[in-house]
Structure 1
């Protein structure tokens, strides 16, 4: 399903270099000497929230780590800076391409303009952008997901778990991408149990206002929903979702995580008994597959869409309470089959 340019593995230099900490971002890992332009591996440019968000960016990191372990690479990842412009992002990506990383991946839709600009300057380097499919270039992979499908299953879960018949959705930023999460979730609730109210709140209008990077905003939004009797809350809000999970634990209600299996995240361990499940989005697999396709000499390009049928989205089953609920599991099995065979068409807005 995935394709990317051949890079030699031999000759990795032993010296390391920290990616410059400037408007281009600070490095969260180290790489081989810039004099070695081949065999380094991939480079990630993180989205807002950066490494440690226990969600979207950490999923990308897991894909990078897998590629490093399997291929003997010394990849790198670069943190974003507050208030940065598209020009800052482009400068960061250009620096990484010049240093010999391949592929170079912008983790998040905000990188789309920068990826488009820089990819044109480096036609022999493969670029990837997560959550955008507007770039039309021979050396760019648009890595997208059917988030609404996994969110539908989260909605089924919420509907069959709530005791108050009030559930919540917290979106990080009011944008079309997050509308997909909300739409699928609401539809899953409505199709499963009539009379359940879904309360929705977006934390900010723009990412620059911190919607994906402010746990306090997530916590406050969740507290308001809990005051309105919500007893299951699904957050698609990046780092801000940690605040939702914290509020859920404090009030002994259920949270549904997103992107990564948040029940298993070390940083959230003290809250894990309140994390019923997580709507998974295999960003790790997408990153790894792009790196592998480059190594195999068959670069992945164009729109690469991961869905429920391919295993690109789904629900985590780490929490025994979730996994051992036979009624819920039967309902999820039926919903999943319907999505796969097309009898359930999940809305995106």
Structure 2
């Protein structure tokens, strides 16, 4: 019997993290072959290349080098390029992660070629259709044959949209990666020494969403908020390329009293920064969860979140809310075996 051939589409930082445990599990499983396609959506070396060294990911078979431009332009170029590869390779399934333009392009390319789509991190909803990520995740869910959901809430979201077939609750792949890599980061990363930071003596932050970088007023609002709510601690921001370019365009200095800007970090260093922070500010979906994994309180610089359980469990709050809910554990993220669960389901599905 020939191997099940899966083409995996990755392109952005969170996808590299999620792909690490699953790609390694696939590599160690007989009967499954993975063809990795990197769209190039994150092109900065610290946003992309470091993952293949830090996370021991195999180098992609294809790197499309597509980044920048409008959402439509980027997605269209990815769609055409991925379609060409899928036509040549004829995989049995296409696997996509999360909610980026790379996710949408991969899902649509596969669906138009009648190749089954596997969506990891399916069913998430912020219910804000102004977010490009919300459009991406909804559209991909509706063309997917296998939908791997991290929580019961994501399963319920799909059911409300009439999607029940092929839906599996499997926990969170990012938790798999965190359990494996946090001890390595604590041992290997020298970031705190290099930046002269002491554990719990600073706040960590990321800022990159369109809502927070679309105007000088939006950037200023986010920066002022972080300084005002940092309890006098320095806020350390590894600056995303989108935010850097926006600040330059608007002639704004992100670095100021109370805020220190550093270059984008490799994932091992980012774990070190997040785990040892007193508080995390972010508009990223992934870092909201990572804050919980590390036991660090989080403030989400948005008016909604797709990771609602981080809020109801008291580890996270939206910046529009003044206090945290009572703190509890989030059992639904699993025990670190999500990758193994996903691979077993894929094997059963393909049999």
Higher relative contact order (CA 8 A, sep 6+): 1
| TM-score when normalising by structure 1 | 0.37
